[in-house]
Structure 1
């Protein structure tokens, strides 16, 4: 994961999802001092602009579902979400966790702390994205290994060859077709399913 640097803050695009009140103005003014590109979004139903890096979202009991819906619609990688809250009770904290916030700032909003929250939120979001990507790659690799095992089993049974020879056959066919071993294994499985009438390995 690339290390986040303070000077990178100026390259960020930040959406402030909050009613245009003095609290919102404090956030916007501090973001302007930092040098971020900012956009005010209210109500949440308007949706986020494209390619947003960080979101400051005011959480209110009467509009948190709209914020949740807004965040569900964003493309991956998702922006880092910083919730702005005015209550520290169990119900609000549950909403903060459930909505996927990676940092929190409380009201009354002060200029001090906004930059810190942005750095922490951005770093946490990048860490989450890296872990999610790693998990997806491992899942894909595991799925590929299962397909290779199934394809080897098919060849061993149909051609009466050893496991080593079956893998060698898959590898050579993949090289010949200029595709991955996993793709070739999948093709063998599909061909077998077709020939066996969808009943699985012959």
Structure 2
């Protein structure tokens, strides 16, 4: 997993989704001092520029759905979301969690704490991305193992061979076709399904 380093702060692309008021200006000025590439987005319907790393989003009850819609449109991997809130009531906290924020800063916004929130948000987002990638890899591996088991079963039934012989046949066919065993298994399953649909189950 990639580790976030403080010197990487200057390379971050940061969007500030907030009405252009004093709170917004405080955030923009601090980001400028840090050296980040920043742009202001308001209203949220304008959408984010491509390849944004972090989003500071003002969370208001009358515009949170627009923020939600904006984040849904972002290509994966999504940027780290830092919500800027002025209330800590249950409804607001529920919105923060529901939007998938990885950090929160409260109003009145102060320069102190913005950098800390960025570091925490970026690190948490990278951790989440790594976990999602690992989960996807494991799911793909599990699917492949299931396909191999199904393909072996087909070969055992059609050719009257043992499980070990079926796997060896599968492996040799994959080598001759210069593809993975998983891809070969998928091809055998599809071929069997095609034959089954026309002639009954093999």
Listed as ranges, the gaps of 5+ residues in structure 1 are: none
- Structure-2 separation of matches of 1:200 and 1:122: 55
**TM-score for both structures, normalised by structure 2:** 0.98
**TM-score for both structures, normalised by structure 1:** 0.98
CA deviation vs aligned residue, 1:72-97 (integer Å, no higher than 9, x gap)? 11111110000000010000000000
**1:201: Cα distance to partner?**
5.5
**1:198: Cα distance to partner?**
7.0
Alignment RMSD: 1.1
**Residues 61 and 88 of structure 1: CA distance in aligned 2, closer, same or farther (over 3 Å):** same
Contact 1:193 1:199 in 2 (8 A): no
Alignment of 1:103-122 (within 5 A): 103-122=103-122
Classify the secondary structure of the residue corresponding to 2:197.
coil
User: Structure 1: which 4+ aligned runs deviate by more than 3 Å?
Assistant: 198-201
**1:3: Cα distance to partner?**
1.5
Contact 1:171 1:181 in 2 (8 A): yes
Aligned: 1:46 with 2:46: yes
- Equivalent residues, number: 202
Aligned: 1:186 with 2:186: yes
Contact 1:192 1:200 in 2 (8 A): no
- Structure-1 separation of matches of 2:93 and 2:200: 50
- Structure-2 separation of matches of 1:96 and 1:18: 15
Classify the secondary structure of the residue corresponding to 1:169.
helix
